[in-house]
Every structure is written in structure tokens, then in C-alpha cells.
Amino acid sequence: MCRRELQELRRWLLQPCRLLTGQEACPTLIKVMQSSTTDRFRVGLVQMSCGVDPNENLEKAMWRIREAAARGAQIVCLQELFRSQYFCREESAELFALAESIPGPTTETLGRLARELGIVVIASLFERRAAGLYHNTAAVIGVDGEITGIYRKMHIPDDPLYFEKFYFTPGDLGFVNFDTSFARVGVLVCWDQWFPEAARLSSLSGANILFYPTAIGWHPAEKEQYGAGQLDAWRTIQRSHAIANGIYVAAVNRVGFEGPPDRGLEFWGSSFVADPFGKVIAEASGNSEEILVVECDPRKAEEVRRNWPFLRDRRVDAYSPILQRWLD
């Protein structure tokens, strides 16, 4: 919901006895109630390679956003940490200079673009929250150009060439949803995609779609033996989130090789959207830049959940042990 609509709704609610006098309902309230359940919406996924210059990456992303909007996208999601190459391949204190505040220069620039195009933008950024305190953060920017909200990545990996714990403090905002002018969205980031608990909690808050801005690829020493299986597992776990929760899932990955030949990463692209039945309805290539524009219909989630009523049959009274690290 944009600022103008919020102001209209606030004025309507503050007038006394509205609901008791039979006066006409607020058009914005009707729009919000209807759009949350029935209106189709179109998402755009921007899969691109990144160079060493953050400003050039930002310019490229802006042109890709324009292209996605021209093709009808209403909610455009960029890949994880799109302003730079994936710097977590190494541990270097100098790389903290890549971080910025939120709000900050990138959200202001993308905010102007979102307002111009009348779209929502989801941007994954290296957030400098305070001196010595940094997060891997996704900002949701509304059609009015303002920040609707942020999500701070909750699960932080520490694997060969994915040394994120050196840079990022785990998120402290929980698994949140964001109401936009087109849909209610849940946003999670990369490593979060391997945890069904995150997808479940975000879905239970009423999201129409889960977005996963991502930076994932092959370690050069592993691709030949494990590469195909790793890609298949990545695709499968996110399709399983769509099925288990009856929800659209959109994964947005980067593409291209970054780093030295022996210590770099080959990002496998393959961005995709799965419908609430887990069917992949659009998928990008594994080796080139691409934009996906996909229409999503909330009524599909209603249909799937009626026939596969997993949410109805959950035994919430029996799940408390899941809060333990391990059941000894």
C-alpha cells in the first residue's frame, strides 16, 4: 500500500461511527481486502553477472529493472548483494567499506526508480547498521519510493568460499511479511532457503509469494563430481517449500564466474518461479543474464490448499520439541 492509500485509509478510519452509520466503505480498504486474496500480480526476477565496480552494477540493475517493468513486472527482485561481486569468498576487513546504511544511497536511488515506474523493488544490500555491526539485508521499496520494510538474513553460512559469518550479524527481525500495492510478500535470503522452518513461518503470516535473493554457485573443486546434484538439491528444496506451504516461490540467483580460477565461484544462475503445487513455471538459463517476468494468481494457492490441506492438518500441539537443537 502506498503512502497516498495509507493516508486515505487513515482519514476514513478516524471518522466516527463509520461502520455504524451505513456510509460507503473506503475504496482503499476494499482494494486491499480484495487484492490480498484474488488479484493476479506479475513478478520480475533479475539474474545478472556482477563486475568489480559497484556503481556499474547498480546502473546495470536499474536498466534491468526498467526492462522488467516494461514487460509488465510489478514486483522486481534483484539477486543477493547485487551491488558487488560476492565478496564473502575471502575474509578481509577492507571489504566492510562496501557496506552502506539503510536508508542510504542505494535505497534512495532505487526508490526514485520505483516511484517513476510505479513498481515494487526488492533489493539485497550489505547493511552497515552501526560501527562494527553489519547485516545481509533485503529492502522492500514501495511504489511511492519509500522503504516498506527490511528483512535481515537470519541464517548465516560459513563454508569454503562462503565466509559470511565474518561479515554478517544474524538477523533480529524474524521472518516478516510486507504488504505491497500488488501482493503480500515474504522475503528470505539465500542460505535461508535450506530451512523449512523459515519458509513455514513466513508463509503462516499470509504471504502470497516467497522471494529468495541468492548468490550460490559451484566450488571449482566440486563441480565435476557434485555439481549436478547440488543444483538439483537447491531447486528441490525450494520447490518443496512451495508444495508444503501452497505458495509461490521465486529464487533469484546471480550468474558468471567470480574470483581467481582456483579460488573462485561459478554462479549457476537458474533463477526460477515455482507455483503453489511446486511446478516450475519459469526458469532462467544457467550461464547467461536473463529477466523472468511471471504472472502469479493467488487463487492458485487457494485451490492447492483446498486439495492438499497441509495447514489444516498440522499438529501444532505436538511440535514443541522442534525448538530444541537436538533431541538427546
Active site amino acids: 80, 153, 190
| Cα distance between residue 87 and residue 272, in whole Å | 24
Cis upstream peptide for 276 (omega within 30°): no
* Other beta carbons within 10 Å of 287: 15
> From CA 141, how far away is CA 104, in angstroms rounded?
12
Distance separating alpha carbons of residues 301 and 285, to the nearest angstrom: 27
Signed CA dihedral, 260, 58, 153, 287: sign only: negative
SS3 for 298? helix
Spatial distance between the Cα atoms of 210 and 79, rounded to a whole number of angstroms: 14
